Structure formats: C-alpha cells, structure tokens
Structure 1
C-alpha cells in the first residue's frame, strides 16, 4: 500500500477513478483519507463515502453504469472485460429478446440500469437476478444495486492492487 499512499492526488484519481463505474468523484473524495493501512481500509472508505451519499447521489452512482448487454462501445473497458468473463455476450445471444425486455423493464421501473457484480455471477445467475430483482421495491433495489457496486469496486481494486504492487506501478 505504500505506493498507493505515495501517489499524487491526480495519479490516485486516474488510477482508481473507475472503481465505481464512471464516477471518479469517489476516488477524488477518498484520496484525502490516506494513508490507507490496507486494501480493505481503502475499500471501507469507498463504501463509507457511498453510504453517506444522499438518495439522489446513490441513484446517480447506479445511473453511471451502462445497461448490461449493450454493445461494448457503450461500456467502459472494465465492464466489457467483466461482462465477457461472466458470459454476458452469450446470454444476450441465447436470451436476447427476453434479456433486453427485462433490462428495459428494470430501467423503467427503477430509473437506473440493472447492476450486478458479473465477476461473481454466471449468465444463468445474471438472468435469474434480473428476473427476480424486478419484483423488488425501489428502496430494496437501490440498496441491492449499491451493494453490488461495492462488490464490483472491491474486485476492481483487488485487480489493481496486489501484494507486490510497488514493483508493478
């Protein structure tokens, strides 16, 4: 973590600015919490920042995500990679109409796209999650979506920071 703690504010924001999809504000806000004792300490500060946001801020975090299964040009590099690993392109091919209809219904009902940590789910789980979460209340889904964002942020953080990070960065 010594390298993370020694980054300039600008480099920290550039490096960690997409831990939360399209939201460098999170990295810009937690940079002042340094020094971080561990990767989990950094993640805890990210989660704390997100949890302290007002309702509209948490909804905005979710709106920063692209609709799952959209053409890759509309997704960040991280989302493209994560979606591919989870089999989202195959899911779209095999359940295209249903998947697209569920995605649209979800977005219309909640006002933000369906967010799920694709790294921890396979295509069947993603489709099941989309079907079942459509029945949640807006409050439940905001909470569930934010918890998924935290999982995504942790896995992206682990991908960027390793025990031997000092030699990699």
Structure 2
C-alpha cells in the first residue's frame, strides 16, 4: 500500500492500491441529486479522478478549482472529484464557487470508491488525496497517491496523462 501521512501522522489506507495498467475498479458513489454513480456511467470517456479529503479545506478547494479550470482544455476527458463530503455540501460548495466543469461525487455512504482505490483513511473516515487517470477502455494510465494528504498533487503530470489517454 502507498505510505500516506495526514498532517505528518501516518495513517492506514483501506482497500487495494491501484497501479498503472490495472483494470479500473468499479465503485458506487452518490451524485449531488443522490443518484448512484459508478465507473460505467462514464464508460467510453477518459476520466481524470481527483480525490480530496474535503472540499471545505484550502488545498482541496484549490485542487478542485484547478481541475475545473483545466477541464475545458481536456476535450473528451471527464473530470470527477470524489470526497466523503455529503452530496448536499458538495452541491452547495460547487454553486458558491462556480464549479461547472467537474462532477463531484460523494463516497460518504459506503466508502466504495475509497476501498476500491485504496484511499480510505481508516483513522479519519476521509479519503487520502490522490489522482487517477482511467482511459476510455477502463485501464488505469496514471496514479498519484499524494504522500502527505495536505500537499497538492502534481497537476501538470495528471493533466498530461489525461491528454495522452
């Protein structure tokens, strides 16, 4: 498993670490309207999956804004942001911040995504910061588990991987 810290303290990640070349695991999360969403709902598109602990924190806010801004330049790439924030909070946050190019998805109910992608933090019931790129055939082409959950991901590498997929 990836070694991740949260504010300098080691945390335990639940689930399976995903690697480049793997078949992307399916998951069940909730959209802002409480409908269930899984990987297959965006099949045929490249997916850049941005994982954040909570939209209401500075780095998560900046990460989601950055991918929202870049999404317009990514062509047939769907940008998904997954957190354990409640769907209502995600919808409110997106509306207040003009986020329109990113689909926010809530993993609060089952931690289905968190466990499938190895980002569920056992001690905090949050998701570790990570970025995954999944191609149109559901193959993982890029993985970054951010080693310190309060740090930014490598935006340029993730965006380039999405363009190449």
What range describes the TM-score normalised by the shorter chain of this pair? under 0.3
| Greater fraction strand | 2
Q: Which has the larger radius of gyration?
A: 1
